[in-house]
Structure 1
């Protein structure tokens, strides 16, 4: 582990500079669109319900508690280093270069896969209106189109994502109303007597291990509030504004996901039918309000997924841009990836590369995509917890504009929760254990690349925007 207080670069600062044009609201809109509460409720929540049954309510509550701890961690770190490299740039500056590059390796793999995972949901919900749509092809077209749109000015994209976000929030309000206004069971059943479907389809009491294990997926459904940091170099007064955007994003996300999931579990006419449905949310909406409402909601969800794809491409492209500026790749590739469009002020080549790779991955098996991405975020969260503890100890985050309350309670409790989630996933031979092994493999490959390529090259160049004197002073 290298000393994060040593100089970060022996090279002159990069001339590539993103354009600061976002206010905190614009950053918040893009961040919420990347989380896409509606996409999480319709695509990810069924996986939590399928594993934990009605115990999914507690899975989402556990994930929300972990989310609060992690939001504090993200806010403090992001107010120290609001950089387009996001988590890897922060970890490298606080915990050390090797952990930082391992974090980058995990994120490089999972971010482009997540785009494909989300995009595959577009065909599913459009097929309600146009049956027989080829899911992978629709996802690929969606991803390619979003990548082109992501090249344009960041302020324009903030407004586009804001309009789509409003549509998906209305859809979630409708779903919540359907469940709470006509419940099929009391809230006490969710609180004290959760049930789940067994391997044979028979519904029985939900085991605690299943509920906690499913919390890892629920954590993934909330994930994204910390991605506000990726727009730190495009947000005015980023050291203060990004922390506010992160905390607001988590609060809105938990409310927008936990409420409709609870409504579905309360209002579903039959829990066994819900657990066994091919499309749980469509089953609920159709049984509660009819096929016409289900069609309208499905179209809204398709728009929400498109919005999420656009927002995540915006985020991932900035990380890819940062890798070029930090000289991760051969010189020619670095130059291309760190290029800024002269008119839009966006990392256009990094955006197109991100879109091209994600478009190709839309044709990969969906189960493969889910397994690879299932637990990597848990490892990244753990890295950030260690980073904030290290930053307080070695002073690399002393200049942070935001300091979390009751330090070090949040990172310590978050680490404990993450360790427990990893243990539970290790006991799942279908998804959890293979995902952990793949995450370990990606981390090892990233570490080898750092040791055999970057360290031999001399020094990994960690750079930031030239208009951020506070971060530059802290870096040296």
Structure 2
């Protein structure tokens, strides 16, 4: 990683509004921002919920799928770090794209994020009941998810420093669970590492045989999303001290920790599973592995830790999404009364309290929507956002709108160009999938079109959408 502090910075063109624009309180250190970001990624949730899908597709070749995804993650982390060090704004991706590519692409990015971020909260919250069933069988999933989201929303209104430490404590528990899973496989392996590297196998119609390269690379598309979230640090740019340098460091560290905390446990499971055939056929792969290696009691404890990790992720993502919603109000993206309400900052906690409550309320209601529909809507939107950011960093270098960035990625433009190539492959893979991928691409395109029309026919004509940011650079 390149040291973000190695480059100098010039005062950024933040396109700030009047001095009366709502300002969030700078109370976070880089560590606090990193803790919230890692909690939003939730490595334990990825290992227990997303990784089994990669293993089901690529078999023991999932090792290589996660390695390839890590390489793509490095490319995107470089992109995020450079852009975020130039514009460490609460609006996140939409605020960056609008300043580097133009307001129309920025508003389309906003539309995609507004829809998917709210849905993602519900998707993750629905996992709480699944893992609590080890204690209370038959829990109504949507109701548990809704109650969880509502309670977490109330907590999210409080001071961001308090929430950073709460997420930090939960994150430690999550990491301990991953360490246990890693130890169960690495200290008692059933096969050598060389077998995973040189002779990966996968199941096809119940028969285990050599894993095809196509299966491994296709599964990497899913593994990419298991690492996703390291760029979320930018949403706390206006609440983090020395944000121009600090946010870049938080992004790069978040990616490094995420890769280690997901790749190592996945590798351990593939090495330590008593039978790959039984692992591939198991309805709950991670439950099978932990139970086989350590017994049902340890599996119950690990399941509870995963439930806590999911709850922690819900809290972190509500914190992130509410910052974006606050920024839309401050930028006057909506009618006057709504924008002013969303831009309100609580005088005591210094947090965007109305935006937080609105975010939680919508997400709570979405917990009762069919989960398969939620997955279809959210599956590919991040691809469009990633592509916009790659184009943004390329254009930012060209038109010098990111010239003041405190972090400059190494080997430019290798990272954004290769990331765009990987994203194109992901789009192609999704287009070949008639069940989730293709409908998701069509929905993503539809959201983009609706967002563009709203901007062109309403927002631009009204002429009130202003790109505002923090008044200071400290």
* Fold agreement, TM-score > 0.5: yes
The 3 A distance-change label for structure 1 pair 194 and 437 is: farther
**CA displacement at 1:119 relative to structure 2:** 1.0
* Aligned pairs (5 A) from 1:91-240: 91-198=97-204, 200-240=205-245
- In 2, are the aligned partners of 1:98 and 1:447 still within 8 Å (CA)? yes
Q: Distance in 2 between matches of 1:350 and 1:240?
A: 27
**CA displacement at 1:9 relative to structure 2:** 6.6
**CA displacement at 1:10 relative to structure 2:** 9.8
Q: Distance in 1 between matches of 2:212 and 2:108?
A: 34
The 3 A distance-change label for structure 1 pair 70 and 88 is: same
Mean alpha-carbon deviation: is it higher for 406-415 or for 276-285? Answer: 276-285
- How many residues of Structure 1 are paired with residues of Structure 2 in the alignment? 462
Partner SS, residue 234 of structure 1:
coil
Q: Distance in 2 between matches of 1:339 and 1:209?
A: 50
| 2:275 pairs with 1:270 | yes
Matching residue of 2:30: 24
State the TM-score, normalized to the length of structure 1.
Answer: 0.94
- In 2, are the aligned partners of 1:147 and 1:351 still within 8 Å (CA)? yes
Q: Distance in 1 between matches of 2:398 and 2:216?
A: 35
| 2:320 pairs with 1:315 | yes
Q: Deviations over 1:99-140 (max 9, x none)?
A: 111111111111111111111111111111111111111111
- In 2, are the aligned partners of 1:62 and 1:215 still within 8 Å (CA)? yes
Matching residue of 1:369: 374
The 3 A distance-change label for structure 1 pair 11 and 159 is: closer
Matching residue of 1:301: 306
Question: Which of 73, 76, 80 in structure 1 is aligned with 2:86?
Answer: 80
Where does the alignment leave 5 or more consecutive residues of structure 2 unmatched? Answer: 1-12
Question: Which of 368, 380, 387 in structure 2 is aligned with 1:382?
Answer: 387
* Aligned pairs (5 A) from 1:273-422: 273-422=278-427
Q: Distance in 2 between matches of 1:438 and 1:196?
A: 32
Question: Which of 450, 468, 474 in structure 1 is aligned with 2:473?
Answer: 468
Where does the alignment leave 5 or more consecutive residues of structure 1 unmatched? Answer: 1-6, 470-476
Partner SS, residue 397 of structure 1:
coil
Q: Distance in 2 between matches of 1:197 and 1:99?
A: 43
Q: Distance in 1 between matches of 2:293 and 2:466?
A: 57
Q: Deviations over 1:355-411 (max 9, x none)?
A: 111111111222222222222111111111100010011010011011111111111
**CA displacement at 1:188 relative to structure 2:** 2.7
Q: Distance in 2 between matches of 1:269 and 1:431?
A: 33
Q: Distance in 2 between matches of 1:183 and 1:441?
A: 48
- In 2, are the aligned partners of 1:13 and 1:464 still within 8 Å (CA)? no
Matching residue of 1:60: 66
- In 1, are the aligned partners of 2:243 and 2:473 still within 8 Å (CA)? no
Question: Which of 232, 253, 258 in structure 1 is aligned with 2:258?
Answer: 253
**CA displacement at 1:50 relative to structure 2:** 2.1
**CA displacement at 1:277 relative to structure 2:** 2.1
**CA displacement at 1:182 relative to structure 2:** 1.6
- In 1, are the aligned partners of 2:233 and 2:250 still within 8 Å (CA)? yes
